Structure 1
Amino acid sequence: MNAPSNADGHGDRPSAPKAAESATAIIRVPLSVRWGDLDAFNHVNNAAFLDYVQEARLHWMTSLDGAWLDDAQMPVVAAAHVNFRQQLTWPANIVVELRIERVGRSSVTIAHRITASSDATRLYADGDTVLVWIDRKSGQSIALPAAIRAACQSPLASAGTTSK
């Protein structure tokens, strides 16, 4: 649900990230809001925000050199967090920005921001998603694929990356 906002535009939610955080984006994907994304309240349904983030994440991962998905391994979403900052309606053009927030042994946390394509300071939502790579047969976590680790450690991504 897109919660109502108080005078600062954020209600009881944490304050929005500073504009500088978008400077470390690993990818910016422009998308159009579809009429079918609307709910009964005539604004974009909360689940559609995760679809937008997934679309951007797939654009990033399919642009990488090397294998990150095959018959033996695959990523799964272990956690997804979205802060709804303001209502998004149709028609609209948005940009989904991703940045690497944390790299672990078998997981990567990817932060996201959804903004208006015409105004990057107009923030509709932000948050993060944790992806864990698993062995397809056992379902157990495995080390991050080399392609993912390399992409997360590139100069573009490293500004927002911490490793544990």
Structure 2
Amino acid sequence: MIELDETDRAIVRALAADATLSAGALGRELGLSQPAAWRRIKRLREAGVFRGARLDLDGAALGFGVTVFLGVKLAAKGRASLGDFERAVQAIPEVQTVEHILGMYDYRLRVVARDVPDFERVLRRRIMALPGVGSVDANVLLSEERRPGPLG
């Protein structure tokens, strides 16, 4: 784990808000020179603080009007069945996230679909056909607020 000072934490917060900021813009915002900001960003990246950059896509604007969280309980558990399930579920394009969890279910999936009939098709033809699936519980997303987590 890397030691972060207040400037490092400010860099992390700024880049979490806008990952497109250049080292020069970030330096101006934080009172650093462009080379100093660049060196700090490089050090944070090399330490593994940043895992990459992503676009935040608007599913509705792309025609995906329904988001469903699925709790999946496997019928049989073991290394082979977990691995088979994980490999198979990652091949389904409508599945945005796959989380192996502890509790009532073995996995939590975030699934997007164009509408409810499209979700039913994905559920019946793709998800229920996955190796090892025992039971599934669905929760339809009504609204979502983005809350930043604790950063530095």
Q: TM-score, normalised by structure 2?
A: 0.26
Which protein has the bigger strand share? 1
Q: TM-score, normalised by structure 1?
A: 0.24
Which protein has the bigger helix share? 2
